[in-house]
Structure 1
């Protein structure tokens, strides 16, 4: 169970002590068994796969957009609303840190993509437009890298929804047909963490693709 605080201990309304108490109660409960890694904050607990920080300062910052929270801590009671379905346990000997994350913007060139590949990146995660689209230069370079063996994964800049290869003519369908892996509704940072673990396990390209697509939903 991961915890934290939005307000420091010397502020008028520190939230850290309550988050610690709630997290201990959650971790010690029978209800928590089998739920996997979680974040407990503001009397709610969320699956690590689904949760994201949505606000810079509010105490109710952690939400799970598409899937919803797992449950609540109501005083000394743990209230479970659902169990996570998309879960995996990995026994990795280590992680591979050489995984880069590139957020696409209007008119972005392939400069950063080429730089990452030329400087030892084992994998590259792209945060693309909408359903997983890119600029022409990014598409061309991403496909070329994927065909040479670099793992390239597409996620979305959007906070909600899933990537899906739909559009041709340089869009997501072109990327997918060129070997780029589409990561469902995983965010860019989460796809990067997953890749770091999977590469550390030494999975072949087929197994790696399977795991990403499975956990992407």
Structure 2
């Protein structure tokens, strides 16, 4: 029988809000909420000490990514399902994906979450866990990397976005298709997964800042985060990857100082290099900025963390993003 590891981080999916005894259910309790005769594998549970997902630390992100990889490569599990809070599951999923390497071809890597607490009416957590366990051992997802499973829908880590904090189906891959659905105890594929990312080398750099740009933003904000210890910066720009001209000098100076600056956008953008955008857009590349290759700002930050894991600076980051 297939073996699946299920690390549980607590959070909303595991909250029991009983006014007489509020608590967080253990991984074993979560598993017991699923009818035993529906389990597609032998499940080993692990409780992971973690902050609420809205306050997830870089250390917790790395712990989950490393555990997912080692469970498949070293512990011979056939799949792994991580229960997570909804707020930052897309960031965790993307780091797990980038760190998976050859583990992606060894078994399914699924992250799931819930909007309703465990003792709430029509809590969706047990259903999401059951579907995730099914997906983790389905050969259709071999090689797909990290996948987020919510409401029986399967989303690639690179494409998934948390779009609605009030809905049990509040995740989307748009404008990309979802990978598939879990139906009648199996995965029904819908589209192929994105191309696998370059393999990570070394431990990700945790000190990467994310700054949202706006009209009139002061360039001193960029230098301030570097003075505070940031080894790289992601700027959330607009449109095709535009940032205010007033930041150009600071971008050039930081780049010369071997601090990579990546420009993402608050909009969905093309995966093409920023310097390939139409004339008049992506001008920050003239000052040395690196395009995010269509990644959202939060995922561009995760990608820059991994890119800097080699210990390199601007050139290492530029080369890594070029292969995304």
The answer, yes or no, to whether TM exceeds 0.5 is yes
- Find the aligned partners of 1:128 and 1:176 in 2 and give their Cα distance: 13
Distance (Å, rounded) in 1 between the aligned partners of 2:184 and 2:211: 42
Query: Quick check: 192-201 or 14-23, which moved more?
Result: 192-201
* Residue 82 of structure 2 corresponds to residue 8 of structure 1: no
1:33 corresponds to which residue?
Answer: 142
Measure the CA separation in 2 of the matches of 1:118 and 1:137: 19
Cα deviation digits, residues 188-208 of structure 1 (max 9, x gap):
111111111121123464443
Whether 1:188 and 2:297 are equivalent positions in the alignment is yes
Query: Residue 234 of structure 2 aligns to a residue in which SS?
Result: strand
CA contact (8 A) 2:112 2:150 kept: yes
Alignment partner of 1:134 out of 227, 243, 248: 243
The answer for the alignment partner of 1:19 in structure 2 is 128
Give the drift of 1:91.
4.2
Deviation string 1:89-114 (CA, Å, 9 cap, x unpaired) is 53433121110000112222223212
1:124-181 deviations in whole A, cap 9, x for unaligned?
00000111111222222112211221100000011x223834455xx622x1121100
Name the TM-score, length of structure 2 as normaliser: 0.61
1:172 matched to 2:282? The reply is yes
CA distance in structure 2 between the aligned counterparts of 1:213 and 1:52, rounded to whole angstroms: 23
Structure 1 alignment gaps of length 5 or more: none
The equivalent position to 1:115 in structure 2, one of 205, 224, 234, is: 224
Using the alignment, how far apart are the partners of 1:74 and 1:97 within structure 2?
A: 38
Q: Does 1:62 align with 2:62?
A: no
What secondary structure sits across from 1:73 in the alignment?
A: strand
1:103 is aligned, of 212, 225, 237, to 212
Aligned residues: 211
Residues 45, 71 of structure 1: 8 Å contact kept = yes
Partner of residue 318, structure 2: 209
Q: Which is worse superposed, 14-23 or 55-64?
A: 55-64
Indicate whether 1:161 and 2:292 are aligned.
no
TM-score normalized by structure 1?
A: 0.90
**Aligned-pair distance for 1:64?**
0.8
8 A contact 1:38–1:45 mirrored in 2 = yes
Give the deviation of 1:82 after TM superposition. Answer: 1.7
Q: Which has the higher contact order (CA 8 A, sep 6+)?
A: 1
Structure ranking higher in helix proportion: 2
Q: Which has the larger radius of gyration?
A: 2
Q: Do 1:147 and 1:178's aligned partners in 2 also have CA atoms closer than 8 Å?
A: no
Gaps of 5+ in 2: 1-109
Equivalent residues in 2 for 1:83-102 (5 A)?
83-88=192-197, 90-102=199-211
